[in-house]
Structure 1
Amino acid sequence: MQCAKGVIYKYINDRIKERHENFNSNLIRDYADVHLNLKNETSSQDNYQVNSSFESITTFFTSGVDLISNALTWTILYMQEYPDVQNKCRDVLNEIYGHSNVYWSDRKNVPYIEAVIMEINRLSSNAGFTAPHTTEKETTLLGFTIPKKSVIRANLYSAHRDPKYWEEPHVFNPDRFLKDEKLIRNPAYMPFGIGPRKCVAHKMSELIQFVTFSNLVRRVSFEREDPNETHTFQPVYEQLTLRPMPFKTISTVL
């Protein structure tokens, strides 16, 4: 793991150095250029940190990529354990798109697919907790006094299983996110946190998860290696994510 991180960090540092050397404020191409432009426009007395480009981009490569790969692992597990849902996803996509690829812009046409992804995200609670934040001043919440500079993390796993907000919270039911075949939102659904400080990679994660799942489930079926063995959904907390316990699946190209 440390070796892999070293390779990633070196790659990011090398790319940032290249951008520094070739930066053109009249040609803002991507996220890295935005950071460099902000750095150039900010005086040394301001709070902008020189290393913020590295830190933010590293978040995309580590937390972002890790969360995405983990979410797709959960997706495969739920598909093999709920073959009826898997088959319905495939039927819905094939009916609309046939052999064509599915893109991010297509999500509005397939609310059932989004509902399935949301239900998987709810039950798996991939991140487990939000990233840590700090209170700038003493405050009171629900009668509890929270001192200044307290570290705050929201328990997403608990929020996603709270019976006050979810009917039969431990049951896998994508239809809970649908009404009259339209997608509905539950305020307790927050797989990436809430507000402006939610996970910086949430849009990238949503895009990749939707596009990858939609195109994968149409072309590949997933089933248990042992049809008589039900796999547990009990997560394992590892690093910053909740991972499924190791499982075996039979993948068949359709």
Structure 2
Amino acid sequence: MLRFLWEGISFQVLLVFLVVFLLVADYMKRRKPKNYPPGPFALPFVGHLHLMNFKNPLKAVDKITEKYGDIISTQVGGMSFVFVSGMRMIKEVLVNHGEDFIDRPDIPINREIFNDMGLISSNGYLWKQQRRFTLTTLRNFGLGKRSLEERIQEECGYLVDVFMDEQGNPFNPLFKINNAVSNIICSILFGNRFDYHDENFQKLLQLIDETTSLQANVMSQLYNSFPSIMKYLPGSHQTVFKNWKLLKSFVKEKVDKHKEDWNPSESRDFIDSYLQEIAKDNSGSIFQEENLLACAVDLLIAGTETTSTTIRWAILYMAKYPEIQARVQAEIDTVIGQARQPALEDRDKMPYTNAVIHEVQRKGNIVPFNVPRMAVKDTDLCGFHIPKGTVVLTNLTSLMFDKNEWETPETFNPGHFLKDGQFRKSEYFLPFSIGKRACLGEVLARTELFLFFTALLQKFTFQAPPNTTLSLEYQLGITAGPRPYKICAVPR
């Protein structure tokens, strides 16, 4: 009977049956619970892939939010996302329901690289222990203390020197700034800085730059949505995997070298401190070498990319707005002068410079959707049902450009952070996020931004190269950074 039925079914009928079966299965899989956040119509299998704007995802999300409200749902391939916008909704997720959305989602490309280890991708007790240890260790090695400030000031001097070597000619500041910023976290991680002419370290910086740029491109996003298919296909996502392995190898060499001359009674840097914890952790479940590698790479990338990108935005904005640059330099000359280096204690006496740095962070908006969160249980969010496992993205862009908070949200305007000539804070300014998973390097980043920015503006005036129009358009990688540009650093 089965043989008769099989022989009687044509290929066309079988194909139609298969398509209908897959469509029904896809519909059942995607069926949303009652009170799930609204969203646009999704196509079978690919979801909202047709609505994605890989070149300008901020614009795509803004368009959907405008139509459906401050909480929307989207789906790409097998991954479901909920975007929340506006102060009320973002505070609900990050603060009021912070424990319900404290985990990181299982993102395929991250799983391939770190297997949910380290500081950024880990969850639960493992994450709490890694974060607690890292914060303590950063403080032990100078975070918030004069010793670390002096280290940054020393690096400012080196950066000024390499800028001076360009003699006012056009150059791309990317790797010089990356090297300077990276040296601060490297001195904490490895116990030493790297010279700007160190070929091996320059190759590492190029590797970091390429990897952070590729991780947000089309192929990497397609891998996150269709990993079972994409892992067999060539593309830039394969370069990401290769580069991450090289980055881990670089850190592993440093760890192995530390193990050779390690003294358990003396802690020279982060690696030594972690090796001490490994020795104390009898179970080996929390502190182990694989976690050390993941934490070190997380700190190296995050401690370099975010601050360096912000400084590159700052230089670009100063060149685009020479009148603002001149006011910053006038304040530097009045408060600091030219005889000494800027110090952190100068910041409170320099409200305009402080406002400019904050406006660079607001307008630069380098982490537009924050780092993803995941619902750890079924949660009611302002009347909407968020099932366990849903990926939640907090749209920080909606705060940084809120029309009700900022006088001219689309314009670079330091006045957003000034009132009666004094610096003023805004609760809508959240470049480091809020809540228990807020950026643990905020204090370090704020210190670096002030010292590097004032040191550079003290010694140089930044200008566009002759016959060149500088662009303020961004390119999206791990962060939203300026497109590559050349600048003239004219000595003052």
TM over 0.5: yes
Aligned to 1:249: 487
Q: Percent identity?
A: 27
After TM superposition, give the deviation of residue 185 of structure 1 in Å: 1.6
Instruction: Give TM-score scaled by structure 1 length.
Output: 0.86
* 1:75 Cα offset (Å): 0.7
CA change 1:97–1:209 in 2 (3 A) is same
Q: What does residue range 96-111 of structure 1 map to in structure 2 within 5 Å? A: 96-99=335-338, 100-111=340-351
Q: Secondary structure at the match of 1:165?
A: coil
* Mapping for residues 91-170 of structure 1, pairs under 5 Å: 91-99=330-338, 100-170=340-410
Deviations 1:7-62 (A, max 9, x none): 54333112223444555554344433443344444442755564222212212222
Please tell me whether Structure 1 or Structure 2 has the larger radius of gyration of its CA atoms.
Answer: 2
Q: Pairwise CA RMSD of aligned residues?
A: 2.6
1:182 to 414, 417, 422: 422
Instruction: State which of 240, 249, 261 in structure 2 corresponds to 1:10.
Output: 249
Change (3 A) 1:133 1:188: same
Distance (whole Å) between structure 1 residues aligned to residue 362 and residue 294 of structure 2: 28
Q: Can you list the C-alpha shifts for 1:112-148, whole angstroms capped at 9, x where unaligned?
A: 2121111010011112222222222121222222211
Following the alignment from structure 1 to structure 2, what is the Cα–Cα distance between the partners of residues 223 and 170? 22
AA matched with 2:435:
G
Aligned to 1:219: 459
Between 43-52 and 144-153, the greater mean CA deviation after superposition: 43-52
CA 1:152–1:41: 2 relative to 1, 3 Å: farther
Structure 1 alignment gaps of length 5 or more: none
Q: Is the 8 A contact 2:336 2:346 kept in 1?
A: no
Q: How far apart are the structure 1 equivalents of 2:380 and 2:287?
A: 30
The number of residue pairs the alignment matches comes to 252
Q: Is the 8 A contact 1:131 1:199 kept in 2?
A: no
1:6-45 correspondence to structure 2 within 5 Å? 8-24=247-263, 26-44=265-283
Cα 1:55–1:18 change in 2 (3 A) is: same
CA distance in structure 2 between the aligned counterparts of 1:250 and 1:196, rounded to whole angstroms: 41
SS in 2 for 1:152: strand
Distance verdict in 2 for CA 1:29–1:143, change over 3 Å:
farther
Aligned partner of 2:432 in structure 1 is 192
1:233 maps to which of 451, 468, 472: 472
Cα offset, 1:177, TM superposition: 1.2
CA contact (8 A) 1:60 1:200 kept: no
Among candidates 54, 61, 68, match of residue 300 of structure 2: 61
* 2:489 alignment partner AA: S
8 Å Cα contact 2:462-2:490 kept in structure 1: yes
**CA–CA distance in structure 1, aligned partners of residues 489 and 436 of structure 2:** 39
Cα distance in structure 1, aligned partners of 2:447 and 2:243: 25
Q: Is the 8 A contact 2:472 2:482 kept in 1?
A: yes
Q: Provide the rounded CA distance (Å) in 2 between the counterparts of 1:112 and 1:7.
A: 43
Q: CA deviation at 1:224?
A: 2.6
Structure 2 residue 303 is matched with structure 1 residue 88? no
Rounded to whole Å, the distance in 2 between the matches of 1:114 and 1:103 is 13
Distance of aligned partners of 1:17 and 1:104 in 2 relative to their CA distance in 1, 3 Å threshold: farther
Counterpart Cα distance in 1 of 2:483 and 2:355: 24
Q: Distance in 1 between matches of 2:279 and 2:485?
A: 49
Aligned mate of 1:70, from 289, 306, 309: 309
Query: Is the contact between residue 89 and residue 217 of structure 1 (CA under 8 Å) also seen in structure 2?
Result: yes
Deviations 1:190-246 (A, max 9, x none): 1122223123433332222211110101111112335794x44332212x1112234
Instruction: From the superposition, tell whether residues 164 and 25 of structure 1 become closer, same or farther in structure 2 (CA, over 3 Å).
Output: farther
Alpha-carbon contact 2:281-2:287 (below 8 Å) kept:
yes
C-alpha distance in 1 between matches for 2:296 and 2:387:
32
Give the equivalent residue in structure 1 for 2:66.
Answer: none
**Cα deviation digits, residues 136-186 of structure 1 (max 9, x gap):** 212122222221122223222232112233222112111221234433221
Q: Which protein is richer in helix relative to its size?
A: 2
Residues 1:139 and 1:200: Cα distance change in structure 2 (over 3 Å):
same
* Change over 3 Å in CA distance of 1:157–1:9 after alignment to 2: same
Measure, in 1, the Cα distance between the counterparts of 2:447 and 2:313. Answer: 16
**Cα pair 2:335 2:346 within 8 Å, conserved:** no
Would the aligned equivalents of 2:278 and 2:284 in 1 still touch at CA under 8 Å? Answer: no
- Which amino acid is 2:487 matched to? T
Gap change, CA 1:19 and 1:86, over 3 Å in 2: same
CA distance in 1, matches of 2:282, 2:465: 60
1:181–1:128 distance in 2 versus 1, CA, 3 Å = same
CA distance in 2: counterparts of 1:188 and 1:72, whole angstroms: 21
